[in-house]
Amino acid sequence: MEQQKTRSFYGRRQSRPLKDNQKNLLNTLYQNIKLDLENLPKSFPDEVFFEIGFGSGENIIHQAQKCPNALCIGCEPFINGVAALLNKIAEAATENIKIFADDARLLLNALPDQLISKAFILFPDPWPKKRHHKRRIVNLETLKLVHQKMRKDGILTIATDHLGYLEWILEITNTPDFKHYFEVLNTHEMPRPSTDEIPITRYEKKALENRPGAFLIFKAV
Ligand SMILES: C[S@@+](CC[C@H](N)C(=O)[O-])C[C@H]1O[C@@H](n2cnc3c(N)ncnc32)[C@H](O)[C@@H]1O
């Protein structure tokens, strides 16, 4: 799989070697549903959902099955995650998912403005060491970019189980600068959305062994 290296992505691109059936899906199904920056669709349906860092794909497959008329775009540079989602897509014969196997910000920059009606950033890497905080995907710059690509009234959901990251996100999302772009719809103490709205992802499941995640919901204004 060709990859566009970016200086802004610091996570792993691969862990375990891929199994034969995963390689096969990358050579077949993936070729039909991958998004390339040079070759983006000319038009989009009314509903476009966008996930940054889909991990093993639990949320995006759920959203795609729940809303068959929506185009669900998932971004994930970790190839083992891409392979896991391809398996799910093949099993469910889902036809409304496109995959971008790189830094979501590259794709966001290339997409038309005011396109996305739902955006998800679920359990992003917390980068707990202070010197790594600048690697965190949730920052004002990324959120402004997400907003630029979102429709008015579009919903952005961010979840984290990491207390330090939660404080970081709350600090950003409490600023007048952020509130110029998004309305805050809930507080982090409120119950998580139903599993019909957002299923429990692999990382939420891991988190639940220690501490519950906080789900923050915003509306683009
Ligand atoms: C901790 S995992 C969470 C995965 C999944 N959302 C879940 O809840 O199980 C964070 C994921 O974000 C991906 N990621 C990190 N930076 C990214 C970026 N710039 N664009 C897209 N995905 C990214 C990582 O590769 C990783 O798989």
The 10s digit of each residue's pLDDT in 99-146 is: 999 999 999 999 999 999 999 999 999 999 999 999 999 999 999 999
Mean pLDDT, range 143-166, rounded to an integer: 97
DSSP SS3 for 102: coil
d(CA 221, CA 183): 6
Confidence of residue 211 (pLDDT cuts 50, 70, 90): confident
Residues in contact with ligand 1 by the CB-under-6-Å rule are 9, 11, 52-55, 75-78, 81, 103-105, 122-125, 137, 201-204
Alpha helices (H) in the chain, listed in sequence order: 20-27, 29-33, 58-66, 79-92, 104-110, 140-149, 163-173, 176-179, 202-208
Question: Considering the entire predicted model, what is its pTM?
Answer: 0.95
Residue 3: pLDDT over 60: no
The 10s digit of each residue's pLDDT in 34-63 is: 999 998 999 999 999 999 999 999 999 999
The amino acid that residue 47 corresponds to is: E
> What pLDDT shows up at residue 166?
97
> What pLDDT shows up at residue 161?
95
Q: What is the dihedral of CA 134, 102, 54, 82, to 10 degrees?
A: -140
Mean of the per-residue pLDDT values for the chain?
94
Q: Is 125 a catalytic residue?
A: yes
Better pLDDT: 9 or 6: 9
Confidence of residue 7 (pLDDT cuts 50, 70, 90): low
Better pLDDT: 4 or 32: 32
Confidence of residue 14 (pLDDT cuts 50, 70, 90): confident
Residue 6: pLDDT over 90: no
Question: What domains, with CATH codes, occur in the chain?
Answer: 20-35+43-220 (3.40.50.150)
| C-alpha 7 to ligand 1 mean position (Å) | 16
Q: Whose CA is nearest to atom 11 of ligand 1?
A: 53
Helix and strand numbers, DSSP H then E, in the chain: 9, 7
Mean pLDDT, range 5-31, rounded to an integer: 88
| C-alpha 158 to ligand 1 mean position (Å) | 12
Residue 92: pLDDT over 90: yes
Mean pLDDT, range 160-181, rounded to an integer: 97
> What pLDDT shows up at residue 12?
87
Percentage of the residues of the chain whose pLDDT score is greater than 70: 97
Confidence of residue 16 (pLDDT cuts 50, 70, 90): confident
Percentage of the residues of the chain whose pLDDT score is greater than 90: 88
> What pLDDT shows up at residue 75?
98
| C-alpha 10 to ligand 1 mean position (Å) | 11
Choosing from 102, 125, 161, 196, the catalytic residue is: 125
- Pairing mode, if any, of strands 214-220 and 182-184? antiparallel
Give the distance, in angstroms, between the CA of residue 64 and the centroid of all CA atoms in the same chain: 13
